[in-house]
Amino acid sequence: MKLYIYEHCPFCVKARMIFGLKNLPVELVVMLNDDEDTPKKLVGQKIAPVLQKQDGSAMAESMDIVRLVDNQDREPLLTGKTNPAISDWLRHVNSYVNKLLIPRIAEASFAEFATPEARNYFREKKQASIGDFAELHKHAPGWIKNISGDLRQLDKLIVKPNAVNGELSEDDIHLFPLLRSLTLVAGIEWPARVADYRDNMAKQTQVNLLSSLAA
C-alpha cells in the first residue's frame, strides 16, 4: 500500500500512526504542496492523506484510513475508551495553535516544500486564511506561554506513557499529532508526563518528532 502525505500534516500523521502501531509496511509518498494533480487523480480533490490500496483503489479521510487498517486483520489495537476531557482539551488548543504553528511550518525544511513554488503555494494559501505570518510571529511569545499552560493541564489527564487513557484508543490518534507538531516550536515548556507520552508514542508509531527543525 502507498500513503500519500505531507510531512508536516497532522492528519497524515494519524494515518501513519496506525501502520507504525501495527508494524505494517507502507510506502510513504510525500507530495509537493502545490501538486494538485496527484490527489485529484486518486480521489478527486486536493487532500492528504490518501491511501492507495493493493487493488489500486484509493481513499482519503485520515480516520477512515485508521479504522480500515486497524480492523483489516480483525485484531484492532484501538479498543480503549475515549475520554471527553481529551476532546475538550484538543478543541481548546486547536482554537489558537495554528497561528503559532503554521508560520513555522512554512519556513521548515519539509519535503513537500522542496521547490520554491511549493513553499509559496502553502504560504499564500495559509496567509489568506489565518493572517500575515510576520504579524503572527509577533504574538508567538504569548501563544507559547498559553500552550505551556495548557500542556500542564494535559499532564493531569495522561494515565500511561504508552496510551493517554491507559489503553490505546482513538484519543491517542488525535492527541499525538498535535504534540508532534508542537515539537517544531522552541521555548515550549513540556511537563514530564506529557514529554514521556510524546516520546513513547513517537517510538510506538515510528513517526519522527520535529525537534531538529524547531525554531
- pLDDT at position 105: 98
Q: What is the CATH number assigned to the segment(s) 86-213?
A: 1.20.1050.10
Average pLDDT across the chain, whole number: 97
- Other beta carbons within 10 Å of 122: 20
Read off the pLDDT of each residue in 45-70 and give the average, rounded to a whole number: 97
Read off the pLDDT of each residue in 6-11 and give the average, rounded to a whole number: 98
Closest Cα partner for 118 from 136, 105, 100?
105
CATH topology for 2-71?
Glutaredoxin (3.40.30)
Q: What confidence tens digit (pLDDT) does each residue in 105-119 have?
A: 999 999 999 999 999
Task: Classify residue 201 as exposed, middle or buried by CB count within 10 Å of its CB (0-12, 13-18, 19+).
Answer: buried
- Are the CB atoms for 50 and 59 separated by under 8 Å? yes
Q: Is the dihedral of CA 110, 4, 14, 118 positive or negative?
A: positive
> For the chain, give me the number of helices (H) and strands (E)?
10, 4
- Are the CB atoms for 6 and 114 separated by under 8 Å? no
| First and final C-alpha spacing in the chain | 34
Read off the pLDDT of each residue in 12-31 and give the average, rounded to a whole number: 98
- pLDDT at position 72: 94
Q: What confidence tens digit (pLDDT) does each residue in 115-169 have?
A: 999 999 999 999 999 999 999 999 999 999 999 999 999 999 999 999 999 999 9
- pLDDT at position 78: 98
C-alpha cell at 109: 525544511
Kindly list the domain boundaries of the chain, sorted by start residue.
2-71, 86-213
Q: How far is CA 179 from CA 58, 60, 132, 158, in A?
A: 28, 23, 24, 13
93 vs 167: CA distance, rounded Å: 23
- Are the CB atoms for 13 and 180 separated by under 8 Å? yes
Read off the pLDDT of each residue in 11-29 and give the average, rounded to a whole number: 98
pTM of the full structure: 0.97
